[in-house]
Amino acid sequence: MAPPIKLISTDFDGTIFAEFQNPPIPRALQTLIADLQARGARWVINTGREMSSLLEALGRARVTVRPDYLVLVEREIYQHSDSAYVSVADWNTACHRAHEEVFAQVRPLVPELVAWVESRFDATLYADAYSPFCLIADSNGDADQIQARVEELCRAIPKLAFVRNDVYARFSHVDFNKGTALAEITRRLGLTAAEVFAAGDHLNDLPMLNRRYAQFLAAPANAVAPVQQALRRQGGYLSTGLCGEGVAEALRFYLAANAAPEIAPT
């Protein structure tokens, strides 16, 4: 029988992956995902990491299951094909074009923002291929203050967003995030949000932890307060287990709660 969950979307760090645990991704979770895949479900790792970083972490963790899709840097979609992950070209091309347009508006303002941050905080600032302004704050308190200032800038530039995970942050386009990327994969598979499970632990996961994109919402016990609050508002599942153990707990809960009743013999 096909499971009620047909698409599993999981954040990586802090949600299914805990680097200093052994194994970093629990065997029970890997077995559960593999069983769901064997029954027709698909799995996407929906992460802020880029390709090489994610694949290296999966390799070091000796993961026995393979994601069907990757969402990288919170916005780019890749599909597994043969032995590689292939760009979903139309989505990624549109994503790149939209980011270039909004980044062209913000780039002239970045030097002033950098000067403001450097005059007040001990933070690492840089630009890369994904954003003209990237931040590694010294603490979450510093990141909160910097975020408040940056959000003033975002309100002045339509479509500009500031995506944050712990002390890490960067600019992005408001239309391309973990939620909209998940919706695109859902559409491509011919599914609806009613068949999607999404699990995350931090601020950059909030766009996908939304009933608009996934009926089955979950977070491990280590999720930050805003994520826990978002799940409570929507009736999602807050696990008692940490990281991958918590995700496995949530999957088991939803599968049991939505199992089709057995038909008694006549």
Does residue 132 sit in helix, strand or coil?
strand
Cα–Cα distance measured from residue 238 to residue 138, given in angstroms and rounded to the nearest whole number: 29
Percentage of the chain surpassing pLDDT 90? 93
Q: If you average pLDDT over every residue of the chain, what do you get?
A: 95
Look at residue 262 in the predicted model and tell me its pLDDT.
Answer: 42
Look at residue 259 in the predicted model and tell me its pLDDT.
Answer: 73
Select the more confidently predicted residue: 1 or 207: 207
Does residue 105 sit in helix, strand or coil?
helix
Look at residue 263 in the predicted model and tell me its pLDDT.
Answer: 37
Does residue 257 sit in helix, strand or coil?
helix
- Mean pLDDT of all residues in 58-78: 96
Least Cα distance to 199 among 259, 257, 239 occurs for: 239
Cα–Cα distance measured from residue 27 to residue 23, given in angstroms and rounded to the nearest whole number: 7
pLDDT tens column, 161-205: 999 999 999 999 999 999 999 999 999 999 999 999 999 999 999
Q: Please say if the pLDDT value at position 140 is more than 90.
A: yes
Q: Please say if the pLDDT value at position 142 is more than 80.
A: yes
Contact 14, 49 (CB under 8 A): no
Fold topology of 7-74+177-257: Rossmann fold (3.40.50)
Least Cα distance to 141 among 125, 127, 122, 160 occurs for: 122
Look at residue 3 in the predicted model and tell me its pLDDT.
Answer: 80
Neighbours of 226 (CB within 10 A): 13
| Per-position DSSP letters for 169-229, written without gaps between them | EEEEETT-SHHHHHHHHHHHTT--GGGEEEE--SGGGTTTSSTTT-SEEEE-TT--HHHHH
Contact 178, 45 (CB under 8 A): no
- Mean pLDDT of all residues in 116-127: 97
pLDDT band at 49 (very low <50, low <70, confident <90, very high): very high
Look at residue 122 in the predicted model and tell me its pLDDT.
Answer: 96
Least Cα distance to 192 among 174, 216, 175 occurs for: 216
Percentage of the chain surpassing pLDDT 70? 97
SS3 sequence of 35-48: HHHHCCCEEEEECC
Least Cα distance to 250 among 225, 213, 223, 212 occurs for: 223
HSE at residue 142, side-chain half, CA atoms within 13 A, is 17
Residue located via tokens 């308190």: 141
- Output the pTM of the full model: 0.93
Distance separating the N- and C-terminal Cα atoms of the chain: 21
pLDDT tens column, 232-265: 999 999 999 999 999 999 999 999 988 754 433 4
